[in-house]
Structure 1
Amino acid sequence: MRLRATVEIIFGAAIVCSSYAQQAGAPFSPPAEITYRVADIWSAGTRMHAEVFAPVSAQGKLPTILMAHGWGGSVPALRPEAVAFAKAGYLVVAFDYRGWGESDSRVILTDPAPAQRPNHRFTAEVQEVREVVDPLDQTADWLNALHWLQAEPQCDTTRIGLWGSSFSGGLVVYAAERDPRVKAIHSQVGYMDGRTRPMDPTPENKNLMYEEATRRARGELGIPPPLAQVIGNLRGAPIRDRFTDYHPVDEVGMAPNCAMQFVVAEKEELFDNNEQGIKAYHLARGPKNLVVIPRITHYGIYSEARSQAEKLALDWFRQHLKP
């Protein structure tokens, strides 16, 4: 499906209100002891949807946990953990990446811009970049969410932690490597090297990656349609060539002052733990912890091991974000 809209282009940035973002999700009623509100975070000129949770009884600034989903998810799936963290005394911010959930999308022109653009403004037809997976774009969203937190009144900017799961379990590592304001991360079943399985680094797939990149650079191949299933049952097609430059597992040493916890599934079936969380643990230079949850596969972290993973995160953040 290709979604098109007419918008104004202002100073080269597209300001668009996505019809996807306007769709109301299921009503959410937070527990009585939690405050809840919706907020906007701007990433490279595009609005991202965020939800903010805090304990009702909170006074002053709070240690803060920033959260985002993995491959193909959205904020509602994070609410159980967000509520639990807020009940434990944290300010919690969960957000959707650009082009996902209730966030707006980046847009691209479907035709060349007109030669005459008075005051750098013109009307154009555009296509949304919707529900595709670009790791470098999503890392930019994490970094911009961190910038946003710096002016949030309840946020203690000296005590910020990141929570990530699966694909975002690697994104939090990338963000911590590049922003020294991150004091602690919890990465569960994290994917941290775009050159490895499930991207299938076979010669055939490498050739496909380069072919797609060449065709896209020459205008012969567009952005994948929303929610395309290219890798197994994962929702959202990858921009393959962007994964070759995404390998935070090799750069963990860039964050020597960040406390890092890695939680892996003993029966992980989507990738090799020795190339992901276990490798990151051994390369980490600061306070670190590795937990192997026995007998579970990748998605067990969201079912039978969910409570255990939540407790591990709370214990880690309590140790490194609270006085």
Structure 2
Amino acid sequence: MHRSDVEFQSEGQTCRGWLYRPEGEGPFPAVVLAGGWCYVRELVMPYYAEAFAQAGIAALVFDYRNLGVSDGDVRQHLDPWAQIRDYRNALSFLERLDDVDADRLGVWGISYSGGHALILGATDPRVKCLVSQIPVIDGYENMRRAHGSVGYRRLWRTILDDRALRYDKPGERLHVPHATADPAADLGTWPFPETYHTFKALKETEAPLYQNSSTVESVDLLLEYDVVPFTRRIYDVPSLVIVAEADDLTLWDLEIGAYNQIPTAKKKLVTLPHTTHMTLYSDQDKLRAAAGHATAWFTEHLLPGGAS
């Protein structure tokens, strides 16, 4: 396996990432990986990319625009549709490489990008296989349930303050933490103390470019995000959905409901027992289990002699 620095253009700006190539000669199948809320490329994704490359599948891990080492003028701004376009441009980059088989491309996503992977499977015919882990399904329902009635009122007050600021002073905007240690006292987009502590530890150990912040407009856009209308379009793309038992961050009931809307017979649901949303980042055994399921799925459907 060999990892190299790469970059590609996405709507006039440069996205940067790592390309993991398997041993041997191509052309190889390839998978694109990108992260969830505020993630940078160092956050757990290299573990999955290494597992895919060791199985004979090239893997591209990249930072979206506005995050990490990629360009972008509005730092820490998370526009899900711009992120999906970054995924598409990553696919366009891969299909132009001599050692990549453009007819065997896949996408992998986790949390916010788990939803993106499902949308890409529905809207980009180049995607021949997908893995969606603990995906965000419905931003509006997710935020209402995660924050509760009183917290949701506070969230909306902040969004309206940001809208007013951006109208009165174009170019200025408010920011909100990804998570806080005391969600009852301090507003964060994802009001779970374990999220704050897990990502704090990851920043200290493996992802120094991670920032615990996004624009408030990012949350405004999250409230308009809904994957289900797209899952109904996945007719023939092998789709693996991995959920964590009793996940109350991105809501495993919504994840299972979205899985049930996928019409293709080429689908599989894996529920990881005794696992939470955040232990998929902090517990190496659970990380290995998820990576094993994802690797087996891509191996089956993208390598020669597989099911597809």
TM-score (norm 2): 0.79
Q: Alignment RMSD, CA only?
A: 2.3
Tell me if 1:162 matches 2:107. Answer: yes
AA aligned to 1:73 is: Y
Judging by fraction of residues, say which structure has more helix. Answer: 2
Partner of 1:53: 20
Tell me if 1:312 matches 2:262. Answer: no
Q: Within 5 Å, which residues of 2 pair with 1:238-249? A: 238=216, 239-249=218-228
Deviation, 1:99, is 1.5
**Which of 72, 90, 95 is matched with 2:38 structurally?**
72
* Residues 74-97 of structure 1: CA deviation (Å, up to 9, x unaligned): 212322221111111011111001
SS of corresponding position for 2:232: helix
Instruction: State how many pairs are aligned.
Output: 266
In structure 2, relative to structure 1, the CA distance for the partners of 1:90 and 1:296 (3 Å cut) is same
Unaligned runs of 5+ in 2: 180-187, 200-211
AA aligned to 1:307 is: R
Q: Within 5 Å, which residues of 2 pair with 1:1-323? A: 34-57=1-24, 59-77=25-43, 78-105=45-72, 107=73, 129-198=74-143, 200=147, 202=149, 204=153, 205-206=155-156, 208-210=158-160, 212-219=162-169, 222-225=172-175, 229=179, 230-231=188-189, 232=191, 233=196, 235-237=212-214, 238=216, 239-275=218-254, 277-286=255-264, 287-302=266-281, 303=283, 304-323=285-304
* Residues 199-255 of structure 1: CA deviation (Å, up to 9, x unaligned): 648562446535533542443672345966532337232423212332113311222
Q: Which has the larger radius of gyration?
A: 1
| Alpha-carbon distance in 2 for matches of 1:151, 1:306 | 31
| Alpha-carbon distance in 1 for matches of 2:12, 2:236 | 31
**How much identity, in percent, do the aligned residues show?**
28
8 Å contact from structure 1 (residues 227, 236) kept in 2: yes
| Alpha-carbon distance in 2 for matches of 1:92, 1:271 | 25
Unaligned runs of 5+ in 1: 1-33, 108-128
| Alpha-carbon distance in 1 for matches of 2:249, 2:293 | 22
8 Å contact from structure 2 (residues 165, 173) kept in 1: no
| Alpha-carbon distance in 2 for matches of 1:263, 1:90 | 20
AA aligned to 2:5 is: V
SS of corresponding position for 1:305: helix
SS of corresponding position for 1:254: coil
Judging by fraction of residues, say which structure has more strand. Answer: 1
AA aligned to 2:32 is: L
Deviation, 1:283, is 0.6
| Alpha-carbon distance in 1 for matches of 2:168, 2:148 | 24
AA aligned to 2:256 is: I
Range 295-304 or range 225-234, more displaced: 225-234
Partner of 1:22: none
SS of corresponding position for 1:56: coil
AA aligned to 1:37 is: S
8 Å contact from structure 1 (residues 66, 161) kept in 2: yes
* Residues 113-153 of structure 1: CA deviation (Å, up to 9, x unaligned): xxxxxxxxxxxxxxxx1123222221221122122222122
SS of corresponding position for 1:314: helix
| Alpha-carbon distance in 1 for matches of 2:234, 2:173 | 34
